[in-house]
A = this chain, B = another copy of it.
Amino acid sequence: MPSRKASYWDYIRVEDLLALQSGIDASEHDLGNDEVRFIVIHQVDELWFKLVLRELTTARDLFARHPVPEDRLAGAVKSLQRVTICFELAAQHFRLMETMRTQDYLTFRDKLNPASGFQSAQMREIEVLLGLDDQDRIPFGNEGSYLDALKSHDGSPSPAYERVTKRIKDGPTLKAAVQEWLQRTPIHGSVPGDAGDEQAVQDWIDAYFAGHEKLYERALEHAVKTQALTGPDEERLRMRYEGQLKGARRHFEASDVDADRRAWVRRLRAAILFIDSNRRLPLLSWPGSVIDGLIECEQAMLAFRQRHARMVERVIGRRIGTGGSDGVAYLDQTALQYRVFTEIWAARTLLLPPDLSPSVRNRDFYGLAHDA
């Protein structure tokens, strides 16, 4: 404990903090309330992003361990919940931003050019740390990559550029670490490397796919029985169900990925469905909550992006963005397309109702010592 006597102003660094709102002008005195508010909201976002990065790093470090200690999973769930809350809080700020009318913003917008929210290094770091693939990024109008947009005007590395490139090197991503961990999940009590593990995984997948066949049969029967479908409507529905079943088969066979990764991906997909279908088993209860936490995080981030697009549309309409992007249309596109935990989202479409979900072998393996 420091012998120094703490004061709120030293601890929170209040004076230093409150001296950072002059933008690119010499003094805050020349700025109107609208611009100071505009600056403050972005600063608050950056502060939340800092917390997001800390929590995601903590979670990533945990899942990168081998084995991951079971008694730390509740902590990881809490980290993910905090990330969710940070994005929810950040999404709330748009209410305040929207109190600025279009004309108010236009009084200082031009001088910002070409500064742009796309240059927020921490937002890019979050995407990198989560595991957004570079090839999934949508170019935003200029020639260069998203990294080029972070360079200084003379092309030299800016602090933002350095942050992001450093983050790119600091692997693994949360996605990679989590998937490794999920992929090792005991299925019917068997873990990778166990004799018979492949068979255990195959048994689970076969039983699960059989459940899907029953599910679609049942749904179609019900639709035919209860709805006055026209012939073409019935045919259309049947086609769609068959499409979904075919999609399910492709998923379980992992035929969409390269042959050398196929076994690994199959086990990963089987594991996600195994956890999500059996989360009342004590050993799987916190892993189930981790899955929920990841879905929540990504949903919150998506909602933040959509809310951002709405605010921009409301304040400036469909103008070209200061950074040179297509503005609102670009934001709406990235919101829906930037997905990280695609394997976990895919499982949502494939979960079976409890009565069709296969039963688990070796249940004792998943229990508490106390019950044993």
Interface positions of A (Cβ within 8 A of B):
1-18, 20-21, 23-25, 33, 36-37, 39-40, 42-44, 46-48, 50-51, 54-55, 58, 70-72, 74-75, 78-79, 81-82, 85-86, 89, 92-93, 95-96, 99, 102-103, 106-107, 109-122, 141-143, 152-155, 158-160, 186, 218-219, 222-223, 225-228, 230, 232-233, 236-237, 240-241, 244, 276-277, 279-283, 285-286, 289, 295, 299, 302-303, 306-307, 310, 313-320, 324, 332, 336, 345-355, 357, 364-372
Query: Are the CB atoms of A317 and B346 closer together than 8 Å?
Result: yes
With A218-B110, A280-B74, A369-B365 as contacts: A17 and B36 at CB distance below 8 Å: no
Give the chain B neighbours of A364 by CB distance below 8 A: 369
Given contacts A155-B228, A295-B314, A351 and B102 within 8 Å (CB-CB): yes
Measured in the bound complex, the distance between the Cα atoms of B226 and A113 in whole Å is 8
B320/A244 in contact, CB under 8 A: yes
Determine the chain B residues whose CB is within 8 A of the CB of A283 once the complex forms: 368-370
Q: Please name all residues of chain B whose beta carbon is closer than 8 Å to the beta carbon of A159 when the two chains form the complex.
A: 9, 14-15
Pairs A-B, 3 closest by C-beta atoms: A317-B348, A317-B349, A8-B119
**How often does this chain occur in the complex, in copies?**
4
Cβ A4 vs Cβ B24 within 8 A: yes
Quick one: closest B residue to A14, CB to CB?
A: B46
Instruction: Specify which chain B residues have a CB less than 8 angstroms from the CB of A11 in the assembled complex.
Output: 23-24, 39, 112, 115
CA of A283 to CA of B336, assembled, Å: 40
Closest CB in chain B relative to A47 CB, distance in Å: 5
Q: Is the CB of B117 within 8 A of A8?
A: yes
Contact indicator B7/A113 (Cβ below 8 Å): no
8 contacts between A and B (CB under 8 A): A8-B42, A21-B50, A37-B54, A43-B47, A71-B280, A153-B228, A154-B228, A317-B346
